Amino acid sequence: MRAIADAIGYPSAAIGILIESAGIPFPGETTLLAVSAYAAAGHLDIRLVVLLGAVGAVAGADFGYLVGRLGGRPFVERFGRILHLNPQHLARSELFFTRYGGRAILAARFVVGLRTWASVLAGMSHMPFWRFQLASAVGAVIWALLIGSIGFFLGRHWHLVDLAVKFLGLGGLAIVLIGAGVVIFLRRRRG
């Protein structure tokens, strides 16, 4: 059974994120967290998991960009309705990508939902591919390192996570983790 899990682990680190980054709603972040936690148990090499996660994110984003570029606004309007993207949202997104370019792609990597559609919207907005590719690659590497590290840490300390969930509940644990992250961030900015 472990051989099957090991064989599925590495590809899933790339494929789940590739699907999400291509514009298809899929839990890519959750997939990378789970595979990273599995690596923490000593079953996979975390460096390879993170690398494949970043490669999957870039490849999926490139596919999404091409879909947006070639399909254009009619394609996005047709399929965007499924996710409640109306013409006003599309008009604002075109302005946003025109104004902020690569920074928008970099920031979108860290926003659930926007991560799924950002590449398609960037292609639809005719963002220059080289600018898109650079921001996408930088964002994918930083994102994969961050999510992979969190998954690896949680995998190493699962007993503490389990205890915290039992004591605080899932919502309480989320609040504590977000609060701790804010405190750490603010201390590093001051230091």
Residues 145 and 182 in one domain: no
Residues 113 and 187 in one domain: no
pLDDT for 42-74, tens place per residue? 888 999 999 999 999 999 999 999 998 998 888
pLDDT for 95-136, tens place per residue? 887 788 888 898 888 887 778 888 988 998 889 999 999 999
Show the domain range for 126.
2-156
Instruction: Look at residue 90 in the predicted model and tell me its pLDDT.
Output: 77
pLDDT for 124-181, tens place per residue? 888 999 999 999 999 999 999 999 998 898 888 776 666 665 666 666 656 666 666 6
Residues 46 and 88 in one domain: yes
Residues 83 and 144 in one domain: yes
Instruction: Look at residue 167 in the predicted model and tell me its pLDDT.
Output: 66
Residues 44 and 130 in one domain: yes
Mean pLDDT, residues 29-34 taken together: 85
Instruction: Look at residue 97 in the predicted model and tell me its pLDDT.
Output: 78
Instruction: Look at residue 1 in the predicted model and tell me its pLDDT.
Output: 37
Residues 132 and 179 in one domain: no
Residues 187 and 152 in one domain: no
Mean pLDDT, residues 10-18 taken together: 85
Q: pTM for this one?
A: 0.77
Instruction: Look at residue 53 in the predicted model and tell me its pLDDT.
Output: 94
Residues 103 and 173 in one domain: no
Instruction: Look at residue 9 in the predicted model and tell me its pLDDT.
Output: 74
Residues 121 and 135 in one domain: yes
Residues 165 and 150 in one domain: no
- What is the DSSP track for the chain? -HHHHHHHHHHHHHHHHHHHHTT----HHHHHHHHHHHHHTTSS-HHHHHHHHHHHHHHHHHHHHHHHHHHHHHHHHHHHGGGT--HHHHHHHHHHHHHHTHHHHHHHTTSTTHHHHHHHHHHHTT--HHHHHHHHHHHHHHHHHHHHHHHHHHHHTHHHHHHHHHHHHHHHHHHHHHHHHHHHHHHHHH-
Number of domains making up the chain? 2
Residues 95 and 176 in one domain: no
Residues 96 and 172 in one domain: no
Q: What rounded mean pLDDT belongs to the chain?
A: 81
